[in-house]
Homo-oligomer: A and B are copies of this chain.
Amino acid sequence: MQATMMKVKLTLTHFLDRAGKLFPGVEIVSRMPDKSLHRSNYGEFHRRSRLLAEALQKAGVRKGDRVATLMWNHYAHFEAYFGVIASGAVLHTLNLRLAPEEIGYIADHAEDRVIIVDDILLPLFAQFRAQTRIERVIVVSLTGKPVPEGCTDYEDFLATASGDWDYPEMEEDDPIAMCYTSGTTGRPKGVVYSHRSQVLHTLVQCMPDGVGIASHDVILPVVPMFHANAWGIPYAAAMLGTKMVFPGPHLHPDDLLPLMESEGVTVSCGVPTIWLGMIQILDRDAGKWKLDKLRLTVGGSAVPEALIRGFARHGIEMMQGWGMTETSPLATVSRVMHTQGEVSEDERFATLAMQGYPIPLVDLRIIGDDGEQPWDGKAVGEIQVHGPWITGSYHELPQSDASFTADGWLRTGDVAAVSKHGIVKITDRTKDLIKSGGEWISSVDLENAIMGHPAVAEAAVIAVAHPKWAERPLAVVVLKAGQSVDAAGLRDFLSDKFAKWAIPDAWQFVDAIPRTSTGKFLKTALREKYRDWKWD
């Protein structure tokens, strides 16, 4: 017996055509380098994305070829997200925050043939081009200046297309985009997404039990479009026809806040760093901005409960998602579950500060030294995940088997406990756990607690060697401007939250904590810096 259902492939070009047909008049706003606003719409987006696809094919780009982008978040990057895919090629979003040598390695490893680059990023491109096999350089003139010799102006490139053109044959498992992990150890590794993986990710992301995005939302993605598909926002936006507000290169809260207000933004997403900066400005100038419809999605690293409470005081809801480049990226979202019943305000914030429950189609388990752990909120182990938008290998790296279990699950390297309600609480990265006198100490728990002190802007905790306890936690702290607290004050602040042995006795007050390109604390740098810590 056979099902009688139509055989219809899941392809992102369905979203592109849907946007053009149902939402042509909806605005796409982009902030330019000079801070002016560029206004386009989904009708133009649809037309121009298709022109880009046709022009790429005319320029000799063939199915599966990699087309790189080196771009900020704006209309042309959005067009590249769909135009490259529509041509049958693979969109490779280069992370402009990496060291040039690293970008060069990645572009070479991916065998990028064509690049679309913002004119203001040409100096960066010049620093790594020689490492790559890039033949064709298409430049988006954001400044309005002519593009250099040897490059093609993006608008001229689009003009080579006729508009009388059809999509090539596509399969839903075809590769459509790739990202490299910005791991703190080893060389970056490539993850290759498919039509199918991103269509499914989008559907679940938009559900109320995912992130919850509707067509009447107005979205400002602070998360860069070179970072894990901008958390899927471009795909969701095209499917729903949400008004988009792209911040371009201007990611400072002083720039974001007025833009959010004037364009009526309802959803914004980014790493905690962005919001840690924004909350200080909101607290300073409370009531200055009308943001009553705004809700924030945050991910990329653990979110201090104090930050969630801080935004709640301004009436702004903050939702945490957990995932990684390898998971497209959404794997869990944090919300109070109906299974928890009535919760107190403290329980509510405690829940929101966890990483949340696995979204539909994602399977999740925690594996400890003695196998799969119960969901009791106590037993910890490595999170392993399985699902249709989770990578099962790395691009041309057969030796990456250590990242996968024998039964085909992804080993995430994050250590967590799961509550009886299925809510994940990450205690650490496997390599960031501190083992003191035979007991595990969670650096993440300490960091979040320390960042709950009103004088603290940021805190990172690492393990340093200790003659007696093997390892002890060292807390590296950045104070807020004009605030003060000392180590004794912070130890006191932690005293009712942690066992005595878990509270750091080593403290460093610094001006800034080094970060990875995606805004996470760069703990390898801290470990290097404090490797020879002298105990009194």
Contacts and interface: CB of A to CB of B under 8 A. Distances in A.
Interface of A: 1-8, 10, 14-15, 18, 21-23, 25-26, 64, 66, 90, 173-176, 190-194, 196-197, 200, 203-204, 206-209, 212-216, 239-243, 337-339, 357-358, 360-361, 363, 386-395, 408, 410, 421-422
A8 B388 contact: yes
A5 B215 contact: no
Contacts of A339: 22-23, 25-26, 241
Nearest to A242: B338
A361 B17 CA distance: 11
A207 B26 CA distance: 20
Nearest to A66: B1
A193 B1 CA distance: 11
A209 B204 contact: no
Contacts of A5: 173, 192-194, 196-197, 388-392
Nearest to A216: B338
A209 B203 contact: no
B90 A192 contact: no
A215 B335 CA distance: 11
A224 B290 CA distance: 47
Nearest to A390: B6
A10 B393 CA distance: 20
Contact of A6 (B216, B243, B386): B386
B204 A6 contact: no
B206 A8 contact: no
A26 B204 CA distance: 22
B241 A4 contact: no
Closest 7 CB pairs of A and B: A3-B194, A208-B214, A6-B392, A203-B203, A1-B64, A216-B338, A8-B388
A390 B174 CA distance: 23
A146 to B, nearest CB: 35
A197 B3 contact: yes
A213 B203 contact: no
A4 B213 contact: no
Contacts of A239: 360
Q: How many copies does the complex hold?
A: 2
Contacts of A193: 3, 5
Nearest to A409: B6
A2 to B, nearest CB: 6
Contacts of A216: 338
B422 A21 contact: yes
B197 A26 contact: no
A18 B387 contact: no
A22 B362 CA distance: 12
B25 A240 contact: no
A360 B392 contact: no
Contact of A207 (B197, B207, B391, B422): B207
A49 to B, nearest CB: 18
A214 B209 contact: yes
A4 B173 contact: no
29 contacts: A1-B192, A2-B175, A3-B173, A3-B192, A4-B191, A4-B391, A4-B392, A5-B196, A5-B197, A5-B388, A5-B390, A6-B386, A6-B390, A7-B173, A7-B392, A8-B387, A8-B390, A10-B361, A14-B361, A22-B357, A25-B339, A206-B207, A206-B208, A208-B208, A208-B213, A209-B214, A215-B337, A216-B338, A239-B360
A90 B5 CA distance: 14
B208 A395 contact: no
A338 B192 contact: no
A229 to B, nearest CB: 12
A180 B15 CA distance: 32
Contact of A192 (B2, B393, B421): B2
Contacts of A391: 4-6
Contacts of A175: 1-3
Contacts of A90: 1
Nearest to A363: B14
Nearest to A218: B338
A241 B339 CA distance: 9
Contacts of A197: 3, 5
Contacts of A213: 208
B203 A8 contact: no
A216 B191 CA distance: 35
B241 A338 contact: yes
A502 to B, nearest CB: 31
A6 B387 contact: yes
Nearest to A176: B3
Contacts of A21: 422
A210 to B, nearest CB: 9
A18 B208 CA distance: 17
A375 B315 CA distance: 41
A134 B4 CA distance: 23
Given A6-B387, A7-B392, A207-B214, 13 more contacts: A2-B192, A3-B192, A4-B391, A4-B393, A4-B394, A5-B197, A10-B361, A203-B204, A206-B207, A206-B208, A209-B240, A215-B337, A242-B338
